[in-house]
């Protein structure tokens, strides 16, 4: 038997927990105030660069620089490694009241999907900037919009799948 909790109470609890988890997760895994953040961001950036090197072609990736032409390069920083949308999704999934197995499945799937979409975003930016396109348009607008829409879609799909994993209290 599944017992549904009061909608108002659940949504308030979700909102408060989500807003509390965001700075905790960012402080722990992203901002430079935590040694864990330095390790996680270094690992995520190296993983992103590894897959980016396979997609860009020979000689285009030099360290953390994507060489567009001899006079122009794009630098892959920790802000480009895809951790920000992962942490936003992680906070939402952790805050939502469902069984931990369902949360774990979606955290892993969300990380994989958002990392792949971020890789696609970086390849898209490198490709279109090479074609003399506007960098801020493709990086700041289209690339970030792609990550936001993907994150929202993942959370929507997570919510759709919660019916069978609803908490029993």
Q: At 19, is the pLDDT very low, low, confident or very high (cuts 50, 70, 90)?
A: very high
| β-pairing verdict for 65-69 and 72-75 | antiparallel
Written as six digits, the tokens of 167 are 């908490």
Helices 7-29, 83-95: crossing angle, 10 deg rounding: 150
Q: Which of the four pLDDT bands, split at 50, 70 and 90, describes residue 2?
A: very low
Whether 85 and 148 have beta carbons less than 8 Å apart is answered as yes
Residue 37 predicted with pLDDT over 70: yes
What's the pLDDT at 1? 40
Q: Are 66 and 139 in contact (CB under 8 A)?
A: no
pLDDT digits over 105-116, tens only? 999 999 999 999
Q: In this structure, are residues 80 and 66 in contact, taking their beta carbons and an 8 Å threshold?
A: no
Query: Residue 67: enclosing H or E segment and its boundaries?
Result: strand 65-69
72 DSSP assignment: E
User: What is the pLDDT at residue 109?
Assistant: 97
């Amino acid at each position: 038997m599944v017992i549904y909790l009061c909608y108002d109470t659940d949504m308030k609890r979700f909102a408060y927990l989500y807003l509390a988890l965001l700075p905790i997760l960012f402080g722990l895994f992203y901002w430079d105030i935590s040694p864990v953040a330095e390790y996680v961001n270094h690992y995520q950036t190296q993983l992103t660069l590894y897959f980016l090197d396979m997609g860009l072609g020979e000689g285009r990736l030099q360290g953390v620089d994507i060489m567009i032409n001899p006079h122009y390069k794009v630098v892959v920083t920790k802000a480009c490694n895809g951790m920000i949308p992962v942490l936003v999704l992680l906070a939402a999934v952790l805050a939502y009241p469902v069984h931990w197995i369902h949360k774990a499945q979606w955290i892993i799937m969300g990380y994989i999907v958002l990392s792949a979409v971020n890789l696609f975003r970086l390849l898209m930016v490198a490709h279109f900037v090479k074609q003399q396109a506007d960098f801020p348009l493709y990086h700041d607008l289209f690339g970030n919009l792609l990550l936001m829409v993907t994150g929202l879609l993942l959370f929507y799909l997570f919510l759709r799948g919660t019916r069978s994993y609803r908490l029993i209290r």
